[in-house]
Amino acid sequence: MRDDEYDLDVTAAQPIDDAAIAALSRDELIQAIVALPPELRMGMGGILLEKRTYSDVSQELGIRQAELVRQVHRGRALISRQLAAREAAGEGAAG
């Protein structure tokens, strides 16, 4: 996957399909997180996979909680964008 496929400046205007993300199996979610840029993976794993608190994960990563919130938002938006692209290509959520 090319680096330019990820726009880390995701804005609030870009919708996040929470239902599509929630419908992913654990394995699909892991694959989606692994495909993210490295700087987003740890936070996403802690929040979405391990179901830990933002406070706990931000302390572990040594970043402010607000930065973790931004990282998770960007990660969710990127996953949502990838799911939408697969759906448009006819691959469905399971790809």
What pLDDT is attached to residue 86? 87
pTM summary value? 0.77
Within-domain flag for 9: no
pLDDT per residue over 10-69, tens digit each? 455 567 888 999 999 999 999 999 999 999 999 999 999 999 999 999 999 999 999 999
The four Cα atoms 45, 46, 52, 57 give a dihedral, to 10 degrees, of -160
Within-domain flag for 3: no
What pLDDT is attached to residue 2? 39
What pLDDT is attached to residue 14? 62
Number of domains in the chain: 1
Q: Residue 35 sits in a domain of what CATH number?
A: 1.10.10.10
Within-domain flag for 4: no
What pLDDT is attached to residue 13? 55
